């Protein structure tokens, strides 16, 4: 898997030397699965909290291209709706252990064939194996 960012501490993303705090500073807004193009785009917007730095990006999107494997687990309906906005962790993980979505590996960059897992406080899971993941920041 090719990507243009590094994962730091399971919650932060580094792109071009800049650290982005996905857990505290961004809210998940949803995803779009484009089956004809075989890609998935996961979107976040800047949180409105007073703790968010003024110079933070307004929005982020992760575009997963060339999807070989995709699992989309829905949020737990028993949890409050705002829990689905908050990313709990992001990690690269071994593809031969696809029954495990809750373990984390301290990997800044993926190894060939790794999956990427986005897990939210709502228990939503987005797990994919793809050719590339491109982060775009606005």
User: Which pLDDT does position 37 carry in this prediction?
Assistant: 97
Per residue in 26-75, pLDDT tens? 999 999 999 999 999 999 999 999 999 999 999 999 999 999 999 999 99
User: Which pLDDT does position 114 carry in this prediction?
Assistant: 96
> What is the pTM assigned to this prediction?
0.95
* Residue 102 pLDDT exceeds 90: no
* Residue 1 pLDDT exceeds 80: yes
Write down the mean pLDDT value for the chain. Answer: 94
Return d(Cα 20, Cα 15) in angstroms, integer: 8
């Amino acid at each position: 898997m090719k990507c243009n960012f590094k994962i730091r501490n399971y919650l932060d993303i580094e792109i071009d030397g800049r650290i982005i705090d996905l857990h505290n500073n961004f809210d998940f807004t949803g995803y779009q699965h484009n089956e004809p193009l075989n890609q998935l785009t996961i979107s976040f917007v800047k949180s409105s909290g007073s703790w968010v730095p003024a110079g933070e990006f307004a929005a982020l999107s992760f575009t997963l291209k060339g999807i070989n494997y995709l699992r989309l687990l829905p949020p737990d309906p028993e949890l409050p709706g705002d829990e689905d906005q908050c990313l709990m962790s992001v990690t690269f993980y071994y593809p031969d252990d696809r029954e495990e979505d809750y373990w984390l590996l301290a990997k800044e960059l993926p190894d060939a064939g790794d999956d990427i897992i986005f897990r939210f406080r709502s228990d939503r899971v987005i797990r994919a194996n793809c050719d590339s993941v491109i982060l775009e920041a606005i």
